[in-house]
Amino acid sequence: MRIGIMIGADGTRNTLDDIVARAQAAEAAGLDSVWLANIFSFDAISTLGIIGRETKRIGLGTAVTPTYPRHPTAIAQQAMTTQAASGGRFTLGIGLSHKIVIENMLGFSYAQPAKHMREYLKVLMPLVRGETCDFDGEQYRVHGIKLDIPGGGNLPVVVAALGPAMLKLAAELCDGTNTWMVGPKTMETHIIRSLREAGLSSPRVVGGFPMLLTNKPDDVRRELGQGLTIYGQLPSYRAMLDREGLKNPEDVAILGDENLLRGQIKRLADMGVTDLNAAVMSSDPDAYRRTVEFLGSVVGR
């Protein structure tokens, strides 16, 4: 299992230079990857292109970039440019986002999200494979487009898929999924099992978990609860928490000493999680640094 961290791209605490420095520190610590969210600040794909020029080996990925605001030809062109800029280290993670964002804030219809994603992937995937796209759908009609981006090929694509319809799409049309607010039981019995049953025998499964090395897990969990509340209110995440039998979003966090973290990481790897995306959340810079260093020490073991 590849082990990486989430770097906040929301701009609330990090300048662009800060984000690049965190990625460089993650690489120096021995981590396999860094993942950026795409919220309402720095564009994640563009930022990862910059990080790709300022690092040498660490894997890069979006977790995730919403599809509705960008035409699939545009996101393909941007993602393949970042793939070229990083020397082939980039994974494009895309997702639907949520009705409150797409419909209430941006004004798009969120009436048929799975249909939207199917058509989106039908346009996107031929382009990132270097093929000519010819597609007629209800939402997208694209003809005769082929992208010529040297170094932009062999681009992995994962979809933020949690429900049955989206997991089936991910298995059918791309490389796998990128998750958040999914506990270990649900990861194994729902996410990974659904992908395999839908025909993806070796799915790419990026598991996002709040994580911290600490000897005060209860205190940290209470602190996390203040920032994670919204995730318990969004329907797709609420459904995953309910499947796991968890009341609050912070309950999915992996918090504790080295033995606890190491055991939980092994559990995820054994069930088929291919990429750990650890969201190291702490107001204490030393706790953040210790956790990143610990995760780096686990890589390859």
Question: Would residue 232 count as lying in a domain?
Answer: no
User: CA end-to-end span of the chain, whole Å?
Assistant: 9
> What is the rounded CA–CA span in Å between residue 211 and residue 265?
10
Q: What is the pLDDT of residue 21?
A: 95
> ω into residue 64 within 30 of 0, thus cis?
yes
d(Cα 245, Cα 247) in Å, to the nearest integer? 7
What DSSP state is assigned to residue 177?
E
Inform me whether the pLDDT recorded for 11 exceeds 70.
no
Q: Is residue 17 in a domain?
A: yes
Q: Count the Cβ atoms, other than its own, within 10 Å of residue 157.
A: 23
Angle 285-298/16-28 helices, nearest 10 degrees? 40
Structural domain contains residue 270 = yes
- Structural domain count of the chain: 1
- What pLDDT, in 10s, does the model give residues 243-259? 999 999 999 999 999 99
Flag whether 67 is in a domain: yes
Look at residue 70 in the predicted model and tell me its pLDDT. Answer: 97
**pLDDT (0 to 100) of residue 300:** 76
CATH label of the domain that carries residue 286: 3.20.20.30
Q: Which residues contact 108 (CB under 8 A, 6 or more apart)?
A: 68, 69, 102
Using alpha carbons, list the distances in angstroms from residue 145 to 38, 68, 136, 253, 271. 26, 20, 13, 43, 40
Is residue 226 assigned to a domain? no
Q: Is residue 242 part of a domain?
A: no
Q: Which domain holds residue 41?
A: 2-219+254-298
For residue 239, being part of any structural domain is answered with: no
Q: What 3-state class would DSSP assign to 228?
A: helix
Q: Is residue 48 part of a domain?
A: yes
**pTM score:** 0.96
